Every structure is written in C-alpha cells, then in structure tokens.
A and B are shown apart, each in its own frame.
Chain A
Amino acid sequence: MSSETTAQKRAPRLTVDDVLNHRRRAGWSRRVLYVFLLAAMAWSLNVTVIQDTDWARMGSLGNVLGAAGRFAGIDFALFPTLIAPMLETFMIACLGTLVGVIICIPAAWFGAQNVTPFKPITYPLARLAMTLSRSIHEIVWALFFVSAVGLGALAGVLALAVRSVGFIAKMSAEAIEDIDPGPVEAIRATGGNAFQVMLYGVLPQVLPQILSVIVFEWEINIRRSAVLGLVGAGGLGLVFFRQMNTFNYHGVTSVIIAILLLISAGELVSYYARKAVI
C-alpha cells in the first residue's frame, strides 16, 4: 500500500491544478458513495426492521427485557458436567487443526505461484479448493460430514479440518511466494530434487510465519468447535443445544461462560505461542 502511494506521488509531474481537480473529483465520488450507503442502509432498515419484524408479537420493551432476563443467572450445578464436553471441544479443535495442516501441505505447495508443479492446472485447482473451503460455513461442512461419516466427533474434526485449509493454505502460499529465491536456486544448483528444494530451501524460510498462522487458526477452531455440537458433532455445542431445548436458561448462561473460559485460555496460549514462534 505505502509503496503504491509513494510510487504514485513520484511518477508523473503533477501541476497544482491536477491535484485540485483530482481532489474535487474524489470528493464528489466520495459524497455519492456516502449517499448511496445511506440509501442502502435506509432500505435495509425498512426491509428488516419495519416490514419483517412482528412488533406486536414481540410485545413491549418490558416483555423483551423479561425474555432477556431469563438468561440472567448461572446454573452452578451444571459446571462439573461441563468439564468433559470442554475437553472434547478442545480436542476436536486440536485434531481438526492437525488434519487441516496435513491437507494444507499439498494445497499450499500447489497454490504458490513460484513452486507449483504445473502452473496452468495445479495453481487454479489449489486456489479453487482454498476458496471453496473458506466460503462454506463450518456448520454446513459439519452437516455434510455428519451425513457422510455419521454423528460424532469425527464429523466435527473433518469439518474443522476442511474449513481451516482455506486460510492456512492461503497465508502459507502467500508466504511461499514472498521467499528469497537464492537458497532455492543454490540447492537446485547442487543437484537437489524438488522434494529437497522444498524441505531445505523453502520450508525454513516460511516456517515461523506458517506456524503463527496455524496457531491463530487453532484459536479460531476452538471457537468453531464449540458450535459444531449444534448439528451433531459433540462437545459444548451439544450441551448448549440440550440446555436450550429444555428451557434451562441459566444452564445456557453457564455453557456460554464455559465457552468464554475455554476461548480465553486458548487466546492466552496462542498469544504466547505466536510470540515465541516469531
């Protein structure tokens, strides 16, 4: 970004009038953009809040606050039974990240322009796989894998793995594209084969970045694995679903507190791990 702006400032010899004209035009286009955004917002507000919402059924503000107030309270008796699901959620996240990293190795290799084996086919293929993986929500992936391998933790692990491939592979491929070609050429010149080039020329250069991306994705995966239980993949989501369906609202709050605890622990670990890696 900064290099672009400096290049732009340096490139043509601009007169003062040019700059002022550009500013005026930019100002106008900006104003048009603001008006457009406001109009879109008004339209959306009209559709969602005025037309679609059934205010009569929702009742007065007191009714809404009363409905929200049902959640105010903690079911302490539930906490001992939450430890096993918490562990399960954590483990699903760990395994999902691991499997995702394993799938990522070919994806990142094919998806980096400078190391992809056969550019016209493998590069678009890998890019397509990454986009597909990122564009489908984890709930949908979980539904798909539940129908493929049955209920249980395996479906959750696979859903997380497939979902995290997109991000890790994209960041890794970008890191690989930015490497210094010197070591790679040196290894190739001494007769290293493609595998040796990857292992000794490329990997050492990108490992810290990729590790930090993996830790980051692991932290996000903890958050995701907490909801996979809603569609049958075990863990805290399943407990949440049960508490919700049995109208034990205080239990719902307890489950949310457990999720928050788990995620803050994960965030802490991820913070220090990323610091240690870089």
Chain B
Amino acid sequence: MNRPPQSPLVTPAGPSACHWSRFKFPDSLIRYASWISVLVFLTYTVEYLDIPLDRLLGMFGRMGTTLSTRYYPPDIGYTLDVGYLSYVVDTIHMAFLGAIFGLIASIPLAWFGSFNMSPSRRWLYPIARLITMSCRAVHEMIWAILFVAILGFGMLPGVLALTFFCTGFAGKLFAEEIEAIDVGPVEAMRASGANQLQVMAFGVFPQVRVAFTGIAIYTWDVAFRAATVVGFFGAGGMGWYLKRNILQVETERVAAILLSIIILVLISEIASAWARAKVMKMN
C-alpha cells in the first residue's frame, strides 16, 4: 500500500512540492482502506457464490432466443378468459382488504411507535416498533406460505399475508410522519389539560391527515403489486394461474399473464398517482 501524500502544511518547500489532496493523512488512509476492503469483499463474494462469469456473456443471446422462440406470441386470448378475469377481480379484492386491514392495524402501532407521541416510551414504544419491524422484515411471500400452512388454500390467507405486509409498510411511514409534526399545537393542547387520545385526535391527526391519505393510497398500490404474486404459493388470486402455467411450461400463456400483470400494475400506479395528486390538491 503506497503512502498517501503528505499534508502541504508539513512540507512548505516551494510551490512545486506543495501537493494538494482533498483528504488529509488519516482520512485518506481510512477511505483508501475501506474502498479496498469493499472491493475485496465483492470479489470474494463472486468467488464464494460460485457465480459463473463466463455464462454472463452468453446470457443475453440465450435470453433473446428463449424470449423470441418460446415466449413470443403471448397467448392473449387466455388472459381474456372469464376464469382468469374473475381471478383478477379476486386479486383486487384481496389487495383492497389487505390494505384496509393493514392500515387499520397500523394506525395505533404508528401512534405507539412514534417517539414523540408514544404514551409510554418505556414499554409501548419498543413493543410497537418491534411489531412493525417484524411485519415489515418478513417478506409477504413468507407470510403467505405461513398462513397457507395454517389456514389452508384460499383467499383468506392471502388477505392475512397482505394485512401483515401492509401493517409493517404503512406503520413505519405513518410513524415517521407523526415524528415529523409540529409540536406547538400538541403542547398547547397538553397545557390546556387534554388527555392522550384528545391530543392525538385534535392535535396530531389534523397535521398528518393529508400525508396519511397519500400513504394509504400508496399502500394500496404496493399491496396490489404484492397480491399479484402471493397466489404463487396457494394464497388466491392470479399468482395461482402463473404458477400453474409455469409448472405446465405453457410459456406463451406465462408471457400473456406477465403482460397482464404489468398492465394492471401500470394502471394501478397511474390511478394511485392521480389519486394522491388529487388528495394533495383537495387539502
């Protein structure tokens, strides 16, 4: 490892020797060492994961042929079938219910889990944070598998999985929103003798109402995106069609289903963006 250049303050030996560097000695060494260690770690990662780098180059050609020969004419007629469309409607139901239940559950969690408003910083705050974090940390797929194992196949486990997912997702955003409020009105209400619930309802809620609505719409959008695939492990909705056709290697139908998912998600994204813009304007 070559030594970094000396600081100009130490060697004032004429303009030619005065070498400018952005970071002075200990900093430069630390930066240098950390970059090197990150690079070493990433190289070791490629080695450890046994990634065949030679395959990467051939990947694009292979993917192109696979796509053009097997997936190319997507079987659109299959996705316009009544059976499939009813599953699409089921997916929308699941996403809606999961988002609503999740939002209902996340509001008290956000209240207890926001550091400035929590009724008890010692007990409720860590518990609420822990619940929110574990809901968010466990992926919606794992929730779906667990609920399918407990309740059996169907849409109810899907709704519950989405509920847990949305609780974690919205709980965190809500709590962050509550932590960012202006404490003036809250203190005024406390000073005039309001209790915790009154402070929450009349001091905090009016400040975060618009942000909450925006987050709620966004949560629905995200829930719909997740709902398209929770059926993959038996939790209802379009995911089940996807899995079935993948297992049957009906690649043209798979392509059509993927296309329909993309289009639906695009529609939901545009709708959610429009609704959020409208909510912001309405205020």
Interface, chain A (partner B; CB < 8 A): 1, 4-5, 8, 26, 37, 40-41, 43-45, 47-49, 52-54, 57-58, 64, 67-68, 71, 87-88, 91-92, 94-95, 98, 131-132, 135-137, 139-140, 143, 147-150, 152-154, 157, 223-224, 226-227, 230, 234, 240, 244, 249, 252, 256, 259-260, 263-264, 267
**Are B141 and A227 interface neighbours, CB within 8 A?**
yes
**Are A135 and B265 interface neighbours, CB within 8 A?**
yes
Closest B residue by C-beta to A84: B48
What is the bound-complex CA distance between A131 and B158, given in angstroms?
A: 25
**Residue in A49, A53, A136, A252 whose CB lies within 8 Å of B258:** A136
**Are B280 and A259 interface neighbours, CB within 8 A?**
no
Closest B residue by C-beta to A226: B139
| Interface set, chain B 214-263, CB cutoff 8 A to A | 225-226, 228-229, 232-233, 236, 242, 246, 258, 261-262
Min CB gap A74→B, angstroms: 15
**Are A135 and B266 interface neighbours, CB within 8 A?**
yes
**Cβ contacts under 8 Å, A226 to chain B:** 139, 142
Known contacts A135-B262, A137-B229, A259-B137; A153/B282 CB under 8 A = no
**Are A140 and B242 interface neighbours, CB within 8 A?**
yes
Closest B residue by C-beta to A153: B49
**Cβ contacts under 8 Å, B226 to chain A:** 137
What is the bound-complex CA distance between A95 and B134, given in angstroms?
A: 25
**Cβ contacts under 8 Å, A88 to chain B:** 48-49
Known contacts A44-B96, A52-B156; A135/B146 CB under 8 A = no
**Cβ contacts under 8 Å, A147 to chain B:** 66
What is the bound-complex CA distance between A102 and B185, given in angstroms?
A: 47
**Residue in B41, B51, B89, B154 whose CB lies within 8 Å of A157:** B51
Judged by a CB distance under 8 angstroms, whether B159 is at the interface is: yes
**Residue in A45, A54, A234 whose CB lies within 8 Å of B154:** A54
**Cβ contacts under 8 Å, A57 to chain B:** 152
Tell me which of A49, A131, A154 has the highest count of chain B C-beta atoms within 10 A of its own C-beta. Answer: A154
Known contacts A67-B151, A137-B229, A264-B137; A244/B51 CB under 8 A = no
**Cβ contacts under 8 Å, B90 to chain A:** 47-48, 52
Q: Which of B10-18, B56-64, B109-117 contacts A (4 or more CB under 8 A)?
A: B56-64
**Cβ contacts under 8 Å, B93 to chain A:** 43-44, 47-48
Closest B residue by C-beta to A52: B155
**Are B229 and A139 interface neighbours, CB within 8 A?**
yes
What is the bound-complex CA distance between A259 and B145, given in angstroms?
A: 15
**Are A223 and B52 interface neighbours, CB within 8 A?**
no
**Are A95 and B55 interface neighbours, CB within 8 A?**
no
**Are A256 and B155 interface neighbours, CB within 8 A?**
no
Interface of A is mostly: helix
Closest 3 CB pairs of A and B: A135-B265, A153-B49, A44-B93
**Are B155 and A53 interface neighbours, CB within 8 A?**
yes
**Are B45 and A64 interface neighbours, CB within 8 A?**
no
**Cβ contacts under 8 Å, B139 to chain A:** 223-224, 226-227
17 inter-chain pairs at a CB distance below 8 angstroms, sorted by A residue, are A40-B96, A41-B97, A44-B96, A48-B158, A49-B156, A49-B159, A52-B90, A132-B262, A135-B262, A137-B229, A139-B232, A149-B56, A154-B56, A226-B139, A226-B142, A240-B145, A259-B142
**Are A223 and B137 interface neighbours, CB within 8 A?**
yes
Closest B residue by C-beta to A249: B149
**Residue in B52, B159, B229 whose CB lies within 8 Å of A140:** B229
**Are B225 and A135 interface neighbours, CB within 8 A?**
yes
Judged by a CB distance under 8 angstroms, whether B194 is at the interface is: no
**Cβ contacts under 8 Å, A1 to chain B:** 210, 280, 283
**Are B232 and A131 interface neighbours, CB within 8 A?**
no
**Cβ contacts under 8 Å, B51 to chain A:** 95, 152-154, 157
What is the bound-complex CA distance between A234 and B49, given in angstroms?
A: 9
**Are A154 and B55 interface neighbours, CB within 8 A?**
yes
Closest B residue by C-beta to A263: B137
**Are B266 and A131 interface neighbours, CB within 8 A?**
yes
Known contacts A54-B154, A230-B141; A137/B228 CB under 8 A = yes
Known contacts A147-B66, A157-B51; A54/B149 CB under 8 A = no
**Cβ contacts under 8 Å, A249 to chain B:** 149
**Are A149 and B59 interface neighbours, CB within 8 A?**
yes
**Are A264 and B133 interface neighbours, CB within 8 A?**
yes
Judged by a CB distance under 8 angstroms, whether B42 is at the interface is: yes
What is the bound-complex CA distance between A88 and B246, given in angstroms?
A: 26
Closest A residue by C-beta to B141: A227
**Residue in A8, A58, A95, A132 whose CB lies within 8 Å of B42:** A95
What is the bound-complex CA distance between A101 and B55, given in angstroms?
A: 21
Tell me which of A132, A148, A259 has the highest count of chain B C-beta atoms within 10 A of its own C-beta. Answer: A148
**Cβ contacts under 8 Å, B97 to chain A:** 41, 44-45, 48
**Residue in A40, A48, A95, A224 whose CB lies within 8 Å of B45:** A95
Min CB gap B48→A, angstroms: 6
Judged by a CB distance under 8 angstroms, whether B81 is at the interface is: no
Known contacts A48-B236, A135-B225; A95/B46 CB under 8 A = yes
Closest A residue by C-beta to B94: A48
Min CB gap B104→A, angstroms: 10
**Cβ contacts under 8 Å, A137 to chain B:** 225-226, 228-229
